[in-house]
Amino acid sequence: MSDRPSKFKLFPLIIRIILFGLGAITIPITGMVIINSFEGVLTGHDRGVNQITFALSMAFVAFMISALPIYFSFSNWSRVKRFTQFLKKIPKVGKLFATIEKFIAFKGTNFGVGIVLGFLIWALCEIITGKEEAVDAGFYLPLALLITGIISSLPSPKFFFSGALGIFVGQVAFMAFVPAKGFGANLWPLTAIGLVPAMLISIFGGLIIYTISSKLISRNRKSIENENNASPNH
């Protein structure tokens, strides 16, 4: 019987909860997007081929934004797990998977700090820049993502990905639950999707701290080894 602690199952559970939450809270907004997309078509104002195509495209995207997270939150991941285990048996691919798993390992402390920092990015945006939304504040958002990526990795540098993930979740939480007037706030699920690539900035910030931390640890280790080698034998 395996005595592995429950923390090994905690990360998938957290991911499922986040996916379900994102899908559920987007339903009212995506529903409005679908209704608004077909409003002109149903009333007879916009019945051209281009308008109908655009309405169908918007409705499909809106539906998938809500449906896919909910689907994956309930889906059975055993097949995916078996497939990844098969890929790991391939020498070079297995090494790549090992490297990826090392960098996306989960750490609750980094994740929690990241959530707080991600929320603050948007909460402080208007105070610092005068803009209601961080996506409209020019260089503020990239700079904030870089700085928060650095800070969120400090508790455990090798788990910097957890910090970046927390920063993303914190931003989405602000957009979802704090009222705002801007376009991005009204269609925040689309803004949230646009912020996914921006996670790379936070990851880069964390990678800086991880690299510095690794070099310092390596230097200290070599220093200790040199001292031990230089000490006289008794």
Question: Within this chain, do residues 222 and 137 fall inside the same structural domain, yes or no?
Answer: yes
Q: Are residues 136 and 219 in the same domain?
A: yes
CA distances from 99 to 115, 143, 181 (A): 25, 27, 42
What six digits make up the tokens of 17?
């909860």
The helix (H) or strand (E) run that includes residue 77 is none
**94 in a domain, yes or no?**
no
Q: What is the pLDDT of residue 40?
A: 62
Same domain, 118 and 218: yes
Whether residues 45 and 112 share a domain: the answer is: no
Instruction: Give backbone dihedrals phi and psi of 131, rounded to 5 degrees, phi first.
Output: -100, 140
pLDDT value of residue 231: 62
- Confidence at residue 183, expressed as pLDDT on a 0 to 100 scale: 47
Tens digit of each residue's pLDDT (9 = 90 or more) over 28-71: 776 776 677 666 656 666 556 666 676 677 677 667 777 777 77
In a domain, 17, yes or no: yes
Dump pLDDT digits (tens) for 142-200.
999 999 999 999 988 888 888 898 899 888 888 877 766 554 455 676 777 778 888 89
User: Residue 97: which pLDDT band, with cuts at 50, 70 and 90?
Assistant: low
Angle CA 83–87–90, to nearest 5? 155
Amino acid at the residue 217: I
- Is 232 a member of any domain? no
Answer yes or no: do 66 and 118 share one domain. Answer: no
Calpha distance 49→71 (Å, rounded) = 31
Q: Are residues 210 and 124 in the same domain?
A: yes
Among all chains, which residue has been given the structure tokens 């801007």? Answer: 182
Q: Please indicate, yes or no, if residue 101 is contained in any of the structural domains.
A: no
Tell which phi-psi region holds residue 17, choosing left (phi > 0), alpha (psi between -120 and 50) or beta: alpha
- Note the pLDDT of residue 144: 93
Are 60 and 121 found together in one domain?
A: no
Interior angle at CA 80, CA 101 and CA 23, nearest 5: 90
- Whether residues 120 and 163 share a domain: the answer is yes
Parent domain of 11: 1-75
Asked if residue 167 is part of any domain, the answer here is: yes
Could you tell me if 119 and 204 lie in one domain? yes
Domain boundary among 75, 91, 120: 75
108 φ/ψ sector (left φ>0, alpha ψ -120 to 50, else beta) = alpha
The answer to the question of residue 35 being in a domain is: yes
**Domain co-membership, 52 together with 121:** no
Domain end residue (candidates: 25, 52, 75): 75
User: Which single residue is written with the structure tokens 């705002």?
Assistant: 180
Residue 143 sits in the same domain as residue 212? yes
Total number of domains in the chain? 2
The reply to whether 93 falls in a domain is: no
Contact indicator for 112, 151 with CB cutoff of 8 Å: no
Domain-embedded: residue 86? no
Helix, strand, or coil (residue 189): helix
3-state secondary structure of 2: coil
49 and 117 belong to one structural domain: no
